[in-house]
């Protein structure tokens, strides 16, 4: 990259590029068919909802003003033990921008927002094989699957429907 990418808060008109990078990250993670959101969904949820469902930092590609070369998507969540927390949903740097400190800058901006907003932590998941584990460890994060045997669980819509068929709710 010819110069240091500018990082800024995302704007509604970035959603097309954010969606492209979401797809790139999903492909990297070997789930190329997983992203289902359209640009309009991101526009609605991030920029037309109050409060927004997510926030995002984006990095502009210094070699192509039409392109973004990285993003960090995050939103507030809550810990029953420690109070308000930030969930980092996605962190991605395009291959040509990697290894230049861009991922660290994006991650640090989320940490800065968490510290300044008095959030207790930044939490996120990473696939077991992903070498990003080295990056996160290097930057001070702890893998709670190793340290606390904490696993990630999900109840999908089909599971919710089945559950409610067999639940005695009043």
Ligand X SMILES: CC(C)(COP(=O)(O)OP(=O)(O)OC[C@H]1O[C@@H](n2cnc3c(N)ncnc32)[C@H](O)[C@@H]1OP(=O)(O)O)[C@@H](O)C(=O)NCCC(=O)NCCS
Spatial neighbors of 163 by CB under 8 A, at least 6 apart, are: 155
Q: For residues 31-90, which are near ligand X according to CB under 6 A?
A: none
Taking CB under 6 A as the criterion, the residue among 43, 55, 56, 103 binding ligand X is 103
Check binding of 140 to ligand X (CB under 6 A).
no
Spatial neighbors of 87 by CB under 8 A, at least 6 apart, are: 74, 75, 76, 77, 122, 123, 124
Q: Name the minimum Å distance from CB 149 to ligand X.
A: 20
Check binding of 101 to ligand X (CB under 6 A).
yes
d(CA 69, CA 67): 6
Taking CB under 6 A as the criterion, the residue among 36, 138, 154, 157 binding ligand X is 138
Closer Cβ to ligand X, 44 or 62, answer by number: 62
- The residue annotated as part of the active site, out of 71, 74, 119, 136, is 136
Residue pair 127/143 in contact by the 8 Å Cβ criterion:
no
Closer Cβ to ligand X, 8 or 162, answer by number: 8
d(CA 88, CA 90): 6
Nearest to 24 by CA among 57, 67, 87, 74: 67
Active site residue 136: yes
Check binding of 154 to ligand X (CB under 6 A).
no
Residue numbers at the binding site for ligand X (CB under 6 A) = 25, 28, 91-93, 98-104, 126, 130-132, 134-135, 138
């Amino acid at each position: 990259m010819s110069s240091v990418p500018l990082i800024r808060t995302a704007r509604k008109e970035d959603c097309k590029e954010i969606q492209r990078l979401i797809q790139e990250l999903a492909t990297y993670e070997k789930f190329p068919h997983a992203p289902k959101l359209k640009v309009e969904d991101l526009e609605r949820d991030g920029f037309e909802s109050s409060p927004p469902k997510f926030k995002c930092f984006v990095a502009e590609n210094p070699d192509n003003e039409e392109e973004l070369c990285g993003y960090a998507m995050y939103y507030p969540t809550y810990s029953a033990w420690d109070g308000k927390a930030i969930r980092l949903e996605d962190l991605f740097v395009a291959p040509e921008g990697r290894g230049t400190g861009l991922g660290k800058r994006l991650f640090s901006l989320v940490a800065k927002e968490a510290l300044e907003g008095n959030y207790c932590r930044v939490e996120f998941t990473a696939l077991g094989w992903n070498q990003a584990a080295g990056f996160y460890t290097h930057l001070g994060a702890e893998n709670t699957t190793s340290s606390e045997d904490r696993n990630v669980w999900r109840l999908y819509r089909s599971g919710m429907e089945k559950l409610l068929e067999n639940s005695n709710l009043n």
